Amino acid sequence: MIQHFLDYIAIEKKYSEQTVAAYRDDLRAFCQFLGWELQDYDPTKVQEGDIRDWMIQLLDEGHSPRSVKRYLSSLRSFYKFMLRTGLVKVDITRRIIAPKTPKNLPVFFNPSEMERALAFEDQADDFESIRDNLILEMLYQTGMRQAEMLGLKDADVDLVQAQVRIFGKRKKERIVPMGEALIQQIKNYLEARKEVGDAGAFFIRSKRDGSLVPMDKSTLYNIVRARMGEVTTRKKRSPHVLRHTFATTMLNNGADIRTIQSLLGHASLAATQIYTHATFDQIKKVYENAHPRAVKQNEQ
């Protein structure tokens, strides 16, 4: 019965050998829990409680919630196959709730790291240095995604209205304001770019043969990684970390979460709320300074 399912996903669904093997291993683990061989699986003798007991055992053995969720997913796919082919009349996995997997908190740079990274602006004396400084400043001040920055056109950057038009996921448009300092950096960049040429994009780079092309993903990533590597020991040093840093900085300085949601272009508020963890340390300090009962007696 299980072999029929594995043949189905291999032949009909055209899953890779690695994926099919992963399903086989997951289903074999459940069979071993039941005391059966893979070929002896009998759905008439399996109940919801058996699946729950298996999940509890997996967690007790040290498997992560993410791993247990994957095991359950494999079993659900198997039961959907049996239901569709008439091998079972009821899918006993449908009421099983998978363990919640903890969300990874966003990594972000602290203010002192950003100050050091942006201090190179005064040392910029060539096009690439001016461009690289602007990239960091723009990511930090607007919170735009890497792909959004790569898609910028000159017409999207409005120096008169002090705003930048960003096209996010599914081409959804949003407007993000810019400060005077950033506007001046953009003006300096555009002046420097006049001397090297145009390539139909706001940010450009030179190829080895000297020709100009729009900035690409790997070049942008390497610029951020190299610059931030000079001021921090953090392993994650990507444009997306600067997006996290933008959101965290805004929240720590009093911006409300709905505004952050709009600036980031999040469709759901839940996606933005993950940043609120960063404000806890600040809230704690304010509480300790403001509440009379929060101060230790020996400090009074």
Q: Which active-site residues does the annotation give?
A: 145, 169, 240, 243, 266, 275
Pick from 112, 114, 51, 120: nearest CA to 79: 51
Rounded-to-integer distance, Cα 53 and Cα 57, Å: 6
Helix count and strand count (H, E) for the chain: 13, 5
Evaluate whether 221 touches 237 at the Cβ level (below 8 Å): no
Write the single-letter amino acid at 297: Q
240-267 b/e (C-beta count within 10 Å ≥ 16 → b):
ebbbbbbbbbbbbeeeebeebbebbbbe
Residue type, 67: S
Q: Measuring CA to CA, how many Å separate 197 from each of 78, 130, 211, 238, 253?
A: 58, 15, 9, 27, 39
Rounded CA gap, 193 and 176, in Å? 23
Is 180 in contact with 255 (CB distance < 8 Å)? no
Q: Which H helix or E strand runs over 18?
A: helix 17-34
Residue 87's nearest CA partner among 167, 2, 6 is 2
Terminal-residue alpha carbon distance, the chain? 73
